[in-house]
Chain A
Amino acid sequence: MTGPVLDTIRDCFEGVVPALLATCDRNGVPNVSLISQVHYVDPGRVALTYQFFNKTRQNLTTTRIAAVSVFNPADLIDYRLVLEYEETQSAGPIFESMKAKLAGLASHSGMQDVFRLQGADICRVRSITAMPGVAEPQPQVRNLLSGVRTTFGDLAKGSELGELCDCALACLRDYFGVGHAMVLMLDAAAGRLFTIASIGYAMSGVGSELALGAGVVGVAARESVPIRIGHMTSEYSYRSTIRAQARHRGLDSPPATEIPYPGLPAPESQIALPLVADGRVLGVLFAESAEPMRFRYDDEDALALVAGRLAELILASQPDEPSSTQHQPDRLAVAATGQRVVVRHYQVDDSIFLDHDYLIRGVAGAIFWKLACEYVRNGRGEFSNRELRLDPALRLPEYAENLEARLVLLQRRLCERSTIRMERCGRGRFRFVVPGTLVLDEVAAGGAR
């Protein structure tokens, strides 16, 4: 029978029971202390939190050997690990992942003013020994591997960005028991993430934005690493992030052009998985729960696989765009009957209001304004992705999925906020459908019309 391996005892590292860390100095004088977090790095390594320069830390960096006792809350077994110190990392994915988790643990135990991560001490695991005891395995709530396989099968049926994101979120709900989740896409040029799909919230929040580096989503995108918190802390909460963003702009409340972020009012657990494909972060798959410690290491692995697959499919779904000579844009007679909608475009930030109601801004706003102008002035109702991509006035970011994400965002905001529709009519083409009359009102940067 083989001994325990690191992968199978990862519940020990959730911080439910504090770990014990023993070291010796060069003269063999022992030292023992509790340690906030032992973090699973890979099948051969863990990382210890370095918070203060104390005797433990001095011994660890001098002798490079430590003994750790970790208690597994799942099977109630005490495991002893012998560790060999390798290096300290004070930035990067492992550090950020530990920092977020430590902030959660600190907040949970009232130590938020004390616990501050200075470094992640990376250690190789020399041995793992299970202490005698009767293991009491917890009943398995769900089969994550089966959930991943079924999700991959469902995702394979999707063919475009919006559909893929909706499918991934439905799979999280149906196969992983995740009640609240969203997909956010990254606008790398603007350093922001915007929601393009969500599930489980009273309001979809499509179009709501977060800054890169803010909250678990922003850190996951910036560092390209999963971020997971089992006890929520204000340091990573969106409500405080959003308040801070408003304060930064000198505002007491969010402006009218800010779409409310949909998140749970009091989440305890959050997980953010970067959507990485072709070596780039495209966005973030995010899930949350009011239940503490809802997402464990195994959940992180499963959802990371889903996120990776979703990212690959998003890239692969970018339409092969026909050249402009193959398809001439249709000319449609503009319906002059029905509802009259005033479209106001503010040049300063490309924000769009439909009859005084905010719709969208930024690149998606500029796209809408172009569609509306073409529709009203030239009677056009059909457009290709390619012509939008080639239009220098739209200032599109570099990658194909950026346009696609804006189109999904715009399409969804229109569905939520108006009767205007954008309907697909072939690969890389869509129809702009207006059940009435549009009246254009452009406001220049200085306020002139």
Chain B
Amino acid sequence: MPVRGTEDKILTPDVVSFCESGVSIAMSSCDEYGNPVVGRALGCRVDGSGKVRLVLRTEANQEVLGAVDCNAGLAVTFTQPSTHRSLQLKATCARFLEPDPSDLSLAEQRAAALKVELIADGFLAAFAARYCAFDPGQLAAIEFVPTHAFVQTPGPGAGNPLRP
């Protein structure tokens, strides 16, 4: 089965399609004192070389961006609200990047898709819109190559390595 990237056992077409859909995206890293930091991303795109790019709100994710800038590892969990399907990608390092024009359209597309998911899951449209809102002038990007992937869907199998 054709896959993208060097980590071909992780980024299967199914995983890529899932991560690029209207999922909620949680991030964590480790600060210089060894303490966890948490954040939320707006959208994800996987390029042809196996790099995962996240676009996120700058102001609300200063701690994660700071930790990544200090070469800390990164964990990212993608969750589909309506099904609870969830997977986690991990990387030993990541890069903090200035956003390029495509990041804005990525954020818009993914936020719109998540909004549809949230409404389908029973949230009010006004709430979903506000939850997915962002300031286009306050975006940043993170790029990483995942080294590990785990099942994160709630249940006894959560935490097991993700198998293609």
Using a CB–CB cutoff of 8 Å, the interface residues on chain A facing chain B are 17-18, 20-24, 28-34, 36, 51-52, 54-55, 59, 63, 65-69, 71, 73, 76, 78, 80, 82, 109, 111, 114-115, 131-133, 136
Q: A32-B26, A52-B158, A67-B37 are in contact. List 19 more A-B contacts (CB 8 A).
A: A20-B26, A20-B28, A22-B28, A24-B36, A28-B73, A29-B73, A30-B72, A30-B74, A30-B90, A31-B90, A32-B38, A32-B77, A34-B79, A51-B154, A55-B159, A59-B36, A65-B35, A65-B36, A76-B130
- Nearest Cβ on chain A to B52's Cβ, whole angstroms: 15
Tell which of B26, B28, B39, B150 has the most Cβ of chain A within 10 Å.
Answer: B28
Which of chain B's residues have a CB closer than 8 A to the CB of A32? 26-28, 38, 75-77, 88
Once A32-B75, A71-B131 are accepted as A-B contacts, the answer to whether A22 and B84 lie under 8 Å apart by CB is: no
Within 8 A of A (CB), among B118-164: 127, 130-131, 150, 152, 154-156, 158-159
The answer to whether B36 and A22 touch across the interface, beta carbons within 8 angstroms, is: yes
- Nearest Cβ on chain B to A34's Cβ, whole angstroms: 6
The answer to whether B77 and A68 touch across the interface, beta carbons within 8 angstroms, is: no
CA separation between A68 and B39, bound complex, in Å? 9
Once A24-B30, A34-B79 are accepted as A-B contacts, the answer to whether A69 and B35 lie under 8 Å apart by CB is: no
Which of chain A's residues have a CB closer than 8 A to the CB of B35? 24, 65, 67, 82
Tell me which of B34, B86, B88, B158 contacts A24 (CB under 8 A). B34
B29 contacts chain A at the CB level, 8 A cutoff: yes
Q: Chain A: which residue is nearest B37 at the CB level?
A: A67
The answer to whether B26 and A69 touch across the interface, beta carbons within 8 angstroms, is: yes
Which 3 pairs, one residue from A and one from B, show the smallest C-beta to C-beta distance?
A22-B28, A32-B28, A22-B38
B14 contacts chain A at the CB level, 8 A cutoff: no
The answer to whether B26 and A30 touch across the interface, beta carbons within 8 angstroms, is: no
Which of chain B's residues have a CB closer than 8 A to the CB of A18? 79
Which of chain A's residues have a CB closer than 8 A to the CB of B30? 24, 28-30
Using a CB–CB cutoff of 8 Å, the interface residues on chain B facing chain A are 26-30, 34-40, 59-60, 63, 72-77, 79, 84, 86, 88, 90, 127, 130-131, 150, 152, 154-156, 158-159
**17 A-B pairs (CB sep. < 8 Å):** A17-B131, A18-B79, A24-B28, A24-B30, A24-B35, A32-B26, A32-B38, A32-B75, A34-B154, A52-B154, A52-B158, A67-B37, A80-B63, A82-B35, A114-B154, A132-B60, A133-B60
Which of chain B's residues have a CB closer than 8 A to the CB of A52? 154-156, 158-159
A-B contact count (CB 8 A): 112
Tell me which of B34, B79, B86, B88 contacts A63 (CB under 8 A). B34
Q: Chain B: which residue is nearest A28 at the CB level?
A: B30
- Nearest Cβ on chain B to A106's Cβ, whole angstroms: 9
- Nearest Cβ on chain B to A435's Cβ, whole angstroms: 56
CA separation between A232 and B92, bound complex, in Å? 43
Once A33-B26, A33-B152, A34-B26 are accepted as A-B contacts, the answer to whether A20 and B40 lie under 8 Å apart by CB is: yes
The answer to whether A20 and B84 touch across the interface, beta carbons within 8 angstroms, is: no
CA separation between A36 and B79, bound complex, in Å? 13
CA separation between A125 and B152, bound complex, in Å? 26
Which of chain B's residues have a CB closer than 8 A to the CB of A66? 36
Which of chain B's residues have a CB closer than 8 A to the CB of A65? 35-36
Tell me which of A36, A54, A80, A111 contacts B38 (CB under 8 A). A80
The answer to whether A30 and B59 touch across the interface, beta carbons within 8 angstroms, is: no
Q: Chain B: which residue is nearest A108 at the CB level?
A: B122
The answer to whether B72 and A28 touch across the interface, beta carbons within 8 angstroms, is: yes
Q: Chain B: which residue is nearest A54 at the CB level?
A: B159
Which of chain B's residues have a CB closer than 8 A to the CB of A132? 59-60
CA separation between A32 and B39, bound complex, in Å? 9
Once A20-B38, A24-B35, A33-B77 are accepted as A-B contacts, the answer to whether A67 and B154 lie under 8 Å apart by CB is: no
